[in-house]
Amino acid sequence: MLETDDPLAIPLWINGHAYLTMAPTFLDVRNPVSGEILRRTPLCAAGEAQKAAEAAQAALPLWAAQTTVARGALLSALGDALAAYAGHFARLITEETGKEADAALAEVNAVVTLLHGAIEDGASGVVAIVSDDSAPLLGALSRAIPALLAGATLVLKPSPKAPSPVFAVAELTARSGFPDGVFNVLQGDEAAVEGLCASAVVSLLMFSGNAALGTRVGEIAARHGKRFAA
């Protein structure tokens, strides 16, 4: 699992593996209470976005061909794994957002519940999900879980201020038996969103979080003619 003792550059997750990149710039991830620098987020752009989208596209035929029952079983296994590390995930949320421990643990438990009782949403193709730091785990996963059950493959772009919970989930997907490329994580800010919208293989961009930021993300999607859901 992700260690948090020393500042580090958090990787991307592409095609079932941690993916290190030398982005042009990095954002310091700070504990909002103490001000401590916890790690650094690479602010990626079109090149990394396309790599992540291509990995999702390559994984799509195999994932979509599985039965809903089979995909649901993998999501349930992921729920079991997340429950086993609930305290770890809660600490990551607290460190990066300043949430109280009880609220952070409640967020993790809400995701576990969603994984164990997933309901598909009809999504298909390669779906990109952008989320903010208001609920860094639940925001992203509330969009991701129904899409995965429906047979979509994903590229998730968490907030650069709270990147660790989604990355740590990606690690758990590998341990839970997900095929490589089904669940990818892209780090960055608006340039990463631009890259996802510019990718021809991304069929839908979803957003979860603050309405004002969602409006901005929707404007980027509209400029590229990308389907958008908030």
Separation between Cα atoms, residue 196 and residue 26, nearest integer Å: 19
% of the chain residues with pLDDT over 90: 93
Domain count, the chain: 1
149-177 per-position pLDDT tens digit: 999 999 999 999 999 999 999 999 999 99
Distance from C-alpha of 124 to C-alpha of 84, rounded to nearest angstrom: 30
107 belongs to a structural domain: yes
- Provide, rounded to the nearest whole percent, the portion of the chain with pLDDT above 70: 97
Find the helix or strand (DSSP H, E) in which 13 lies: strand 12-14
- What pLDDT is attached to residue 6? 57
On whether residue 5 sits in a domain, the answer given is no
pLDDT of res. 3: 47
| CATH number of the structural domain spanning residue 136 | 3.40.605.10
Residue-wise pLDDT for 35-63, tens only, equals 999 999 999 999 999 999 999 999 999 99
80 in any annotated domain:
yes
In a domain, 2, yes or no: no
In this prediction, residues 81-107 reach a mean pLDDT of 98
pLDDT at res. 128: 98
| Domain membership of residue 214 as a residue range | 12-229
210 φ, ψ to 5°? -60, 135
Asked if residue 194 belongs to a domain, the reply is yes
Helix (H), strand (E), coil (C) string for 81-111: HHHHCHHHHHHHHHHHHCCCHHHHHHHHHHH
The type of residue at 188 is G
Nearest to 171 by CA among 10, 26, 51: 10
Instruction: Say what the pLDDT of residue 12 is.
Output: 98
What's the pLDDT band for 21 if we cut at 50, 70, 90?
A: confident
**83 lies in some domain:** yes
pTM, two decimals, is 0.95
At residue 130's C-alpha, the angle toward residues 57 and 114, to 5°, is 85
The answer to the question of residue 7 being in a domain is no
User: Is residue 30's pLDDT more than 80?
Assistant: yes
Q: Which pLDDT does position 178 carry in this prediction?
A: 98
Residue 1 lies in a domain: no
Is residue 29 within 8 Å of 161, Cβ to Cβ? Answer: yes
